[in-house]
Amino acid sequence: MKGAIERFIRDARRVMVITHVAPDGDAIGSLLGLGWALRWLGEEYTLACADPVPKGFTYLPGSEAIVTRPKGEYDLVISLDCGDLERLGAAYDESLAGLPIINIDHHVTNTHFGTVNWADTGAASTAEMVLDLLESLHVPLDSDIALCLLNGIVTDTRGFRTPNTTPRTMRAALKLMGAGAQLPEITDHIFNRRPFSAICLWAKALNGVQLDGRIIWSQITRAMRQECAFSENGDVLSLPKGDAGLVNFLGTTDEADVAIVFVEKDDGRIEVNMRAVPGVDISAVALDLGGGGHPQAAGCTLHGDLNETQEKVLSAVKEAIKDQVQ
């Protein structure tokens, strides 16, 4: 698989590298890490994401070069950390249709939409996979590449705490630290910084939190975000940008197996963020609802009324986990 990817990259003249909308730390870290590697290989490339880089990741070297609407002609597209073609958003337009796509991702719900599909569900992050690819391409690690890729690993494992954190993950982190990535710098940016607008949003959402059986859930309306001046542009670092990371907090509730936060977006869509305890798989229900993700971390975006969406999702989750929760 990596051999085919290497051949496509080396034969390409201009490469478009794209990651998913609403980018997280793994998406941005993988994008930048591969970008620095392509530069070392002497490739012409563009890094793209339909949504702006969240403020918390602008500390990563090269982040200012990521564009939202790519221009020009390309002969290869590389998709990073994206489960399906639609998640690439407006950055993947008609000018790129028909080009070969290399699909590099670690989500179990990946739809294998690429010309070449490398979907390694054993990897804790796409950044882990990019590191493997760079080794195959014989790209030497420097501090810039290492910082970007370690940012991806740390964010997607929530500081090495997720169930898919493996010895392979730790070996990758050690290798990147050895190349100059500073773990304390990354963890400080990711976990120790939070704007007041996020605290305000949590306060409002927690006031309406509900425990429905083994499901804990809450909602964030447009009015709540406006009252707190919470930015759609992703003020919060490694956390799901729409809910300011609230779903991760709710997921620590002893009495719950699944946490859900419904976020009403400015365009009327409803973003649904879900977390589950180890042993409970919510990825299939997210996929059925048009989204995707991991067994314990998944989500989707739906159109419709907020209350109706909540009823639909809660019903689907209850049905999906009834045989999983004893």
Angle between helices 167-178 and 126-136 (to 10 degrees): 60
Sheet holding 101-105, edge to edge: 44-48, 14-19, 76-80, 101-105, 116-119
pLDDT tens track for 94-110: 888 889 999 999 998 89
Interacting residues of 319 by C-beta distance below 8 A, sequence separation 6+: 285
- Mean pLDDT taken over the chain: 91
Q: What is the C-alpha separation between 184 and 290, in angstroms, rounded?
A: 37
Name the residue ranges covered by the structural domains of the chain: 2-191, 196-321
Report whether pLDDT(243) > 90. Answer: no
pTM of the model as a whole = 0.84
Q: Do domains 2-191 and 196-321 have the same CATH topology?
A: no
Please tell me the CATH code under which domain 2-191 is placed: 3.90.1640.10
When pLDDT is cut at 50, 70 and 90, the band that residue 233 belongs to is low
Q: Which residue has the higher pLDDT, 192 or 159?
A: 159
Percent pLDDT > 70 in the chain is 96
Percent pLDDT > 90 in the chain is 73
pLDDT tens track for 250-289: 999 999 999 999 999 888 889 999 999 998 999 999 989 9
Q: What's the fold here for domain 196-321?
A: Diaminopimelate Epimerase; Chain A, domain 1 (3.10.310)
Report whether pLDDT(190) > 90. Answer: no
Q: What is the C-alpha separation between 146 and 309, in angstroms, rounded?
A: 41
